[in-house]
Amino acid sequence: MTTTFPSAGLDDTRSWDLTAPATHMRADTAEFWRDRRQRTPIFWHEGSSAHPGFWVVCAHDPAVRIYRDSKRFTSQRGNVLLTLLAGRDNAAGRMLAVTDPPRHDRLRRLMTPALTREAVYSLTTRIRERTARLLAGRVGSGEFDFAEEIASRIPIWTICDLLGIPDSEHDLLVSSTKQALSSDDAEQSAVSAVAARQEILLCLLDQVQAQRQRPAEGLIARLIGAEFEDAPLTDDQIVTNCYSIILGGDETSRLTMINAVHAFAGDPALWRRFGTVDDLGTAVEEIIRCFAPTMHFGRIATADVDIDDVRITAGDIVTMWNTSANRDEQRFADPYTVHFDRRPNPHLAFGYGPHFCIGAPLARLEIAVVLDELRRTAQTVVSRGTPRPLYSNFLHGYATLPVAFG
């Protein structure tokens, strides 16, 4: 069963099933979200025989209030539709993203030292050198797949550096992360996604066990030597939290780069404007607002709550749709235009509140360095074919992006 809404400027009614990946590939999604923000910024999405119903929050202000209210909205039964609709997350209480305060805060403190701005900034030279090396063989050489050849490599290589995972495991992690939460096409089964997640977990377990015997530099070794709640971390605790960093750290950086280059290829004037930007940090925040791939996050209400005259009942699933909130006209002037000098820019691409993405500094750095190297190296970015979109109800972006750099 899907939800039917009146839609201004479109037909009288349209059926939209936000759980279906195909819905998010429709050409009129921007109109849908604009209409919902204006009419019903918080609405109920009916369930079906396969899954329960849930609340959809598509305006910026109520989304922020829910994100920061960890007392009345829990993450420990899932934080994306995949797990929320299933009613559980197997890593709840062990993985940072699906653990509530105060336990969340203690776990976060173990991981933060490896992901501070200072720690992340130390990787700048290595990221820039790798990016420059990959781009050097592509400018002026004709068509290639930016998604495959550049964007899929830099984030995983960098995360592996942070974790202390050797180069020999890079290719496995590159291929597995792309399949774990989204698909290149509608034909990929849920079994394939589960298998990809298992590949990542097994790879991490191997690394943890190996580094218990032969310590390396990186977050895995740091966690092996740490204590949590008066006991050493188990292999399972270390694996689940490194897994979270791999998925969260890879997808935002990788897909934001791809989405941005797709936009540059389609709009030469935008590419020229980016080439003249002086304040790269401010420009990158706007790129993240406009092109970040994560469409939603979710919570479960633990108490009856009134949000803008809408009664949310304890036990209800509540989803915050960042893809809409980041274009809320009440919070962002001219939200569908890229303004590289936009300030302030309180986008929700990394969430908000206690669960604000711990890897945000790393994602910002990777996006900034790759796009900066691209504008230093290439004068033109030209589309060379139709990109293949991801098939997902969680991530928006492209699995392939054929382009040429001149």
Paired tokens of 195: 């298998």
Whether 8 shows a pLDDT value over 70: the answer reads: no
Peptide bond into 344 cis (omega under 30): yes
- The CATH number that domain 101-290+357-406 falls under is 1.10.630.10
Q: What is the dihedral of CA 134, 139, 145, 148, to 10 degrees?
A: 10
Euclidean distance between the first and final Cα of the chain, in Å? 49
Average pLDDT of the segment spanning 291-303: 97
Whether 73 shows a pLDDT value over 60: the answer reads: yes
By three-state DSSP, how is residue 135 classified? helix
Average pLDDT of the chain is 91
- Decide: 251 and 395 in contact? Cβ < 8 Å: yes
Whether 11 shows a pLDDT value over 50: the answer reads: no
**What gap in Å lies between CA 155 and CA 362, rounded to an integer?**
9
pLDDT one-digit tens code per residue, 90-99: 888 889 999 9
Q: What is the dihedral of CA 376, 171, 205, 294, to 10 degrees?
A: 50
pLDDT one-digit tens code per residue, 269-287: 999 999 999 999 999 999 9
Q: What is the pLDDT at residue 178?
A: 67
Average pLDDT of the segment spanning 112-139: 91
Q: What is the pLDDT at residue 224?
A: 95
Q: What is the pLDDT at residue 293?
A: 95
Average pLDDT of the segment spanning 208-216: 91
What is the crossing angle of helices 268-275 and 360-377, to 10°?
100
Q: What is the pLDDT at residue 2?
A: 41
Q: Nearest CA to 228 among 115, 99, 78?
A: 99
Q: What is the pLDDT at residue 13?
A: 31
Query: Could you please report the per-residue DSSP string of 14-78?
Result: EEE-TTSGGGGG-TTHHHHHHHHHHH-SEEEEP--SSS--EEEE-SHHHHHHHHT-TTTEESBTB
pTM, two decimals, is 0.91
Q: What is the pLDDT at residue 137?
A: 83
Whether 195 shows a pLDDT value over 60: the answer reads: yes
Q: What is the pLDDT at residue 14?
A: 42
Average pLDDT of the segment spanning 193-220: 89
**What gap in Å lies between CA 77 and CA 272, rounded to an integer?**
45
Supply angle C-alpha 70, 288, 397, rounded to 5: 100
Q: Nearest CA to 211 among 227, 229, 232, 225?
A: 225
- Decide: 360 and 288 in contact? Cβ < 8 Å: no
- The CATH number that domain 1-81+295-348 falls under is 3.30.43.20
Q: Pick the more confident residue, 144 or 169.
A: 144
Q: Nearest CA to 383 among 293, 274, 271?
A: 271
Average pLDDT of the segment spanning 108-122: 89
Q: Pick the more confident residue, 195 or 125.
A: 125
**What gap in Å lies between CA 401 and CA 89, rounded to an integer?**
33
What residue ranges do the domains of the chain occupy? 1-81+295-348, 101-290+357-406
**What gap in Å lies between CA 396 and CA 390, rounded to an integer?**
6
Whether 183 shows a pLDDT value over 90: the answer reads: no
pLDDT band for position 185 (cuts 50, 70, 90)? low
**What gap in Å lies between CA 109 and CA 337, rounded to an integer?**
38
Whether 116 shows a pLDDT value over 90: the answer reads: no
pLDDT band for position 199 (cuts 50, 70, 90)? confident
Average pLDDT of the segment spanning 302-328: 98
- Decide: 218 and 114 in contact? Cβ < 8 Å: yes
* Of the candidate ranges 35-44, 166-175, 298-307, 364-373, the one whose mean pLDDT is the lowest: 166-175
Q: What is the pLDDT at residue 79?
A: 95
Average pLDDT of the segment spanning 206-220: 91
Whether 288 shows a pLDDT value over 70: the answer reads: yes
Whether 235 shows a pLDDT value over 60: the answer reads: yes
